[in-house]
Amino acid sequence: MTRRSSSYLKTCLITIALVSAFCLFAPTLYSKLKTNFNIKPNTASITCNPCICDCPPPLSLLNLAPGLVNLSVTDCGKDDPDLKEEMEKQLVDLLSEELKLQKTVGEEHIRHMNITFGEARRVASQYQKEAEKCNTATETCEQAREQAEALMRQEKKITSLWEQRARQLGWEGE
């Protein structure tokens, strides 16, 4: 960006910020000034006509649909044998049925939890085996590295001895 365009951008941003601040704080400042200086409109010039309220009362549900209030559904589901059987059950029967349902749901939940727990144990065992393999491989690599370092030190000693002999015999090296 050139210097001119960056100064233009800064000017635009500052202008937007000032306009936003003015829009936010102007109503509050105006009301504070109005209360502090007791600025009241000229009441002598403002006259109101008296209000005439000749409104009808609001409609009620009784007026809109008189049949809705006295709804009787005594024969609802009379032909459905399953619904009729459910409606005739006693409170004790309903509670015992609810307890049976809760017991069934609880047993299903326990069965699902046991399956999940068994799967988690199986996966954990598998990860443990993989970790042991990894540790064994790491130990093997570490032993091989140590052996390689020992061989490297031995080779350096031999190379140093050969280099010394070569220098004694007149070799000047690279």
Residue among 48, 28, 25, 44 nearest 36 (CA): 28
pLDDT band of residue 64 (cuts 50, 70, 90) is low
Q: How far apart are CA 56 and CA 134, in angstroms?
A: 88
pLDDT for 125 equals 95
Terminal Cα-to-Cα distance of the chain (whole angstroms): 57
Domain boundaries, given as residue ranges, for the chain: 1-37, 93-168
Mean pLDDT along residues 28-47: 66
pLDDT for 46 equals 60
Highest-confidence range of 45-49, 53-57, 88-92, by mean pLDDT? 88-92
pLDDT for 77 equals 59
pLDDT for 41 equals 52
C-beta of residue 100 within 8 angstroms of C-beta of residue 106: no
- Give tens-digit pLDDT for 109-156: 999 999 999 999 999 999 999 999 999 999 999 999 999 999 999 999
pLDDT at 44 over 60: no
